[in-house]
Structure 1
C-alpha cells in the first residue's frame, strides 16, 4: 500500500505525476541524472511547475542544468561530503576547491562559544565547539536520542559542519548549494532553512544530536531520516518520526517517469538495525521519538527547520544512490584541485581547526557562463539566482569523542 504521509507522500500526487510527464515530453531525452530525478520527485509542486515551463521553452539548456545538479552544483555530494569513483560519475567533474571562509571584519565576541577564531589572514574561521557539544550532551541526558543507550555517544550535526561556509557570500563559477535548492523548493522554504543556519553557523546546540556511534555512522550515510512532526508551545518537546531509507545503486541516468520507492522498513541497508535499549524494541520505520529539554533557551531542541531540510535531502541522497561512502582519492584523477578537496575533507574529519587559506572568488555564476539565454522565470541579483514565483542537515563531520 502506498504511503501517503511518509517518505513517499510526494510521489502519489496526481498533479506531480502530470507535471513529471510534461517534463519528460519537453526534454529531448527520457533520462536525467539521478540527483536531478530525486529532486524533481521531492520538489515543491509550484517550483516543479516553473521548471516544466522553463524546460518547455529551453529544453537543451535544461538538460545542461540537470547535468550540473549532478556534477557542478553537487547537492548530494555536498550534503553528504562523499565522492563517487570517477567511473561512476554521470558527467565529467569540474575542478573544485575546498570551501573557504568568507572575509569578515566583524570582531569575535569575548567568550564566544561557537568555535570561532581568526586565521593568519585575519579571516574569521569556525572550529568545532566543545561548549555546544557539552550543551547537546546535557540536553539529551548523555543518551542516544534513538536507542536511549548511554555513553560512549557522539555528537552529530544535522546541517554538516563541512558546509559551514556555504553561505552564498562567495562568488563561484557554478550554482551554489543554496542556488540549486531554490530551483526545486520555494524561496520561502529555502530561506527558512538558510536563516536557521546563517549567520549563527553550524556550532549551536539546535544543530546537534546525541547519537550512539553506530547510529551516527548510519546517520552520516543517510541510512535513515527523521521527519519533524510537532514542537510544543513551550519549546520543551519535539516529536519526530523515524524512517529507514533503502540503499539504491548509483546509475548514470534514471527515466524521468520512474516512480521512486521508499517503502516502510524495519532495518536499513547492509542489515543495519537499531533497538531501544530501555525497552528492547526494534526501531522500525514510523516509530515516533520525542526529544525533550528542560531549558529551551540554554539547551534548545534541534531546530525544526533544519530537521525539515534534512528530511528532504536525506531522501534525495538515498534515492540517488549516493548514501554509501567512497574513497576520497582515485588513481585516475590526480588534478591538484581534486587532491586539495580530498585533503580538505580528510582534514575536516581529523582536526578541530581549518586551513589558513585565502578566499578565491570566481568570475561568474554557472548560469552566466553556460546558459547564453536567461532561463524563463529566473532572476539574477548580484551573484544570487532565484526563481520568480513559487510557493509560500549526516556528514563525516564530527570527531568520535575520546
Structure 2
C-alpha cells in the first residue's frame, strides 16, 4: 500500500475514460481532475449508469459538474485556505463561569477552544507528535476551524464533496464536523512543531489513519510526503497522473525540506508509522479516525491539484511547472 494507490487502479482509469465520453468537452481544471482520481468508485459508477439510462439530460449535468467549476474550486480552496489561516492565532476563550465545577466534569468540557487546546497539549505531552520537538510546538486543527461554524454558508463545500464521494461518507464527515462540540475538541487537534505545521497546511504531507486500538488508547497513522504541484486551469479529464513517489525522505527536490524525529534520531520518511497514545480516551481522546480519513482524502486532492499553493493575489493561476502526467493510453 502506498500514498496514492488510487492513481494506479486500472478500474478507476476505465471509469474516468467512460465518464469523459459523456462530456461535451472532456476537460476540467486540476481540482476537478484530482477529485476524480480520489473519488469513490461507486459514485462514478452511479454517474455512468445515470448517463446510460438518460444520455442527453444527464450528460449535460455531468459535463457541467466535471468541467472547470468555480463552486467546486472555491470549495476545495476554502479547505486549503482555512488550513493555513485559522490555526495561526490563539483560540478565543469564552467567558468563564464563576461557578467552580468538579474536576472530572470540567475535564470533559471540550467545546471551549482554550480548554480543547489544553487537553490536546496534556495528551501529547506538549510535544510534536511526529518529531518529538518541544519548542516551538503549536496545536493545529485536523479539520479547519471554519468548517465547524455550522452548515450555513458552507453548503457549496458539502455539495462539491457529494459530487465525488458517497452521500454516506459525506454525511459521516458532516456529522463529525457539525457535532455540537464542533471542531473545537481534543479529537480534532494535535501538536506539531511549527515547520511541520506549515508543511501540513500546504499539503506537503498527509497522515493515513491505520488503526485504533479497542480500548482507544493507541492510534496508528502512516506518514507520507506528497508531490508539490501547481494548479492548472485546463487539462484533459483522462490525463493520467504520475504515481506519488514512495520512500521519500523529504519534499520535492526543488523545495527540499526534511523532518527529523529526535526520539529515534532519524529522518522521517514516507511510510513511517507513528503511534499516538492517550492515558485517558474519554477526557483526552485521540484524533478522530473519521476526521483523519477526511483529511487523508482531501489533503491528497490538494497536493495533486496544486490548490494549496494558490494565493489571494493570484487566485488560480497557470504555472510553468505543470502537473506531471503519464502518456495517455488509447481508450
What TM bracket, shorter-length normalisation?
0.7 to 0.9
Structure 1 distance, partners of 2:67, 2:237, is 13
Secondary structure of 2:281's match?
Answer: coil
Q: Is the 8 A contact 2:204 2:228 kept in 1?
A: yes
Structure 2 distance, partners of 1:55, 1:70, is 23
Structure 2 distance, partners of 1:158, 1:171, is 20
Q: Is the 8 A contact 2:26 2:67 kept in 1?
A: no
1:263 partnered with 2:245:
yes
Structure 2 distance, partners of 1:233, 1:82, is 33
Cα shift readout 1:333-359 (whole Å, capped 9, x = no counterpart): xxxxxxxxxxxxxxxxxxxxxxxxxxx
Secondary structure of 1:203's match?
Answer: coil
Aligned to 2:193: 212
Cα shift readout 1:230-268 (whole Å, capped 9, x = no counterpart): 010000000000000111111112222222232222212
**One of 166, 177, 180 as aligned partner of 2:157:** 177
Secondary structure of 1:146's match?
Answer: coil
Cα shift readout 1:287-325 (whole Å, capped 9, x = no counterpart): 101100000000000000000000000000011111225
TM-score (norm 1): 0.66
Aligned to 1:301: 286
Structure 2 distance, partners of 1:286, 1:304, is 18
The Cα of 1:8 is off from its aligned counterpart by 2.0
Aligned to 2:166: 186
1:33 partnered with 2:29:
yes
4+ runs deviating over 3 angstroms: 53-56, 67-73, 110-113, 327-330
Secondary structure of 1:26's match?
Answer: coil
Q: Is the 8 A contact 1:36 1:70 kept in 2?
A: no
Task: Name the stretch that deviates more: 183-192 or 302-311.
Answer: 183-192
Structure 2 distance, partners of 1:203, 1:72, is 26
CA RMSD of aligned residues (A): 2.4
Paired residues in the alignment total: 284
Aligned to 1:50: 46
Q: Is the 8 A contact 2:71 2:156 kept in 1?
A: no
Secondary structure of 1:18's match?
Answer: helix
Bigger proportion of residues as helix: 2
TM-score (norm 2): 0.79
**Residue ranges of structure 1 left out of the alignment (5+ in a row):** 84-109, 116-128, 331-402
